[in-house]
Amino acid sequence: MKRRITFIQPLGAPFEPDQAVLSSSNLAIRGLDAARHDRITLGLDDLPEELRNVLESSHALHLRWAAEEHFDAIAPFSSRVSPGLHAPNSDTLCSVLRTVFGADEGDRNGVDCTSPEKSFTTPPLRSTRFATSTSLQYYTRLPSLQTLVGFIRRTICHQRQGGAKCHDHADTLLMADSVDIDYDSTSHTLAISGFWSSAPTGGWIEDIGRLAADDKIEIGLLGVEPGASPDELKAGGLLGSIGEDKKLMPTMFHLPSRHHPFAEANTYSISFSQPTGLHPEMSISIPHSALQQPPAPKDFTCALHTYLTLPSSVFIDQYQVGTDDPLFLQEHNLVAVRAFSGETDLEAPDWAVDRWGSTWLLELATPSADSADPASNWTSTIPMHLRYLNPSESGYRSAAVPWPVVFWACSTEEEGKMGKNPFDRINLGYDELFGPRTIFYQLHPASQHLVEELDVPVLKLKDGEGLFQARNIELGTSVVIVLGFLWIIWRLARVVWATGLGANEVKRPETHEKKE
């Protein structure tokens, strides 16, 4: 097992040498106030047989999970995805997802997946500006990783030494802000990564040691700031390896990075028009400071984008939002739909939809310099529609809409790829829709909870006052069907009756007397 633990402290944060002491057997952390990233890499022999058999037959596995509560995505871990579980570019079986993350029990908070062919989506592209992609995608709302932690405790920890410490490590995922799981079919390794944007009360207090003699643990205590080049980050601090180094050694290095955080003031907020009805409209409000061009290289072209992940209960009309009508686009402060995938059937009710939902990449318009008002926010609106949901006793059901991610994408026509960064995340769903030399500047969500709950009017099952009750609608439907049937029978009878009379009135041939 390999483990890489990275602590990121804000620039200028206080640090004392006795807060991180490396010995031959462990690293003692005391009261360290820092963000944390923990990556554990396991070989196939470290995995339970049921999971190992599936991975050996898989080409790729990339899972991305983000919490529903707000967190600070700091450099070099500044990339974001919408809250929930994402499985982009993955051919893993649905049975594994249900086993590891829990099956949907009807509350849409688990994995409702039957097979990749029926439940996954394949994103087509709308523009040649973007790279082609044939990856499969899956998404589900997943507020907690309790099922994943339980799976790790009873399988992976059961096979390793130091079971109690392994259980403690697994339990820390319950407090993580984001978790990534990747399988590399070339090296046959599974990597589990967790990110915590802030330390617990009192700072990190932990003795980090090896669970087995052949384990390798690397430690980094770093501070990160923008590099000399706009596409780079500069990191400096202390590095060490438990069991190999006698003390933490100072270091300084540069990192090429595709993802960069914008300033803290560059936020965005999401709201829906009230009452939402069956045709809600999402508003993305952005302050004037976030509309300024990011500090990208001079030969890069930048545009503001949003990437939406919508459950099956909510959809966008591709013909409405994807229009070229300048009046519509100007009214909603949109430029174009750049890519979409998933369920776009305009008539299907939610219970008739197999796939999980849809994704949308939209380019947002920005105000011109002479029309921008620094005192007010800039708002783009996206018309949406709600599918018919199953009836309920209250007459309403809830549809959970995760916040989209909003970012500046800066691209260049120059060929080639950017340098590799061990902290950069890939397979986020939207990054593959851009060229390899694209830099993302992430805006920060301005809310503590990143899922919007919409009240959807549905058929009311409970008897009570009001005309639109289930019994009344059922009775009215039956009456209409019977009356329609009788009307058809009556029309057919008239046709038959008229045809019968016509048959009896056959003209007789005229006879003439023969004259002599």
In this prediction, residue 5 carries a pLDDT of 95
Asked if 234 contacts 225 with a C-beta cutoff of 8 angstroms, the reply is: yes
DSSP state letters, 194-231: EEESSPPTT-EEEEEE-SSTT-EEEEEEEEEEE-SSTT
The tokens describing 269, both together, are: 């907020």
In this prediction, residue 132 carries a pLDDT of 39
Distance separating alpha carbons of residues 2 and 134, to the nearest angstrom: 32
In this prediction, residue 133 carries a pLDDT of 43
Helix (H), strand (E) at residue 500: helix 470-504
Tens-of-pLDDT digits for all 516 residues of the chain? 899 999 999 877 888 989 999 988 899 999 999 999 999 999 888 888 878 887 887 777 889 999 999 999 999 999 999 999 998 765 556 767 777 887 666 555 667 777 666 677 776 544 444 443 446 788 999 999 999 999 888 888 876 666 788 888 899 999 999 999 998 888 889 999 999 999 999 999 999 988 777 789 999 999 998 888 888 899 999 999 998 988 999 999 988 899 998 877 799 999 998 888 889 999 999 998 899 889 888 889 999 999 999 999 999 999 999 999 999 999 999 999 999 998 888 888 888 888 899 999 999 999 987 666 677 889 999 999 999 898 888 888 899 999 999 999 999 877 766 777 888 888 898 998 998 889 999 999 999 999 999 988 888 876 545 555 556 666 777 788 888 888 998 888 888 887 766 555 555 555 555 444
In this prediction, residue 145 carries a pLDDT of 94
For residue 29, give the 3-state DSSP assignment: strand
The Cα-based distances of 162 to 37, 149, 194, 212, 426 in angstroms read 22, 16, 20, 8, 32
Distance separating alpha carbons of residues 1 and 47, to the nearest angstrom: 11
In this prediction, residue 473 carries a pLDDT of 60
Count the neighbouring beta carbons within 10 Å of the beta carbon of residue 494: 10
Closest Cα to residue 435, out of 309, 300, 262, 306? 300
Distance separating alpha carbons of residues 257 and 236, to the nearest angstrom: 15
Strands (E), 33-86: 35-43, 61-66, 84-86
Residue partners of 413: CB distance under 8 A and separation at least 6: none
Residue partners of 57: CB distance under 8 A and separation at least 6: none
In this prediction, residue 128 carries a pLDDT of 40
Give the helix ranges, DSSP H, for 76-210: 94-101, 116-119, 146-151, 163-171
DSSP-derived secondary structure letter, 156: I
Q: What are phi and psi of 416, to 5 degrees?
A: 105, 180
Asked if 75 contacts 261 with a C-beta cutoff of 8 angstroms, the reply is: yes
Where on the phi/psi map is residue 10: left (φ > 0), alpha (ψ -120 to 50), or beta? beta
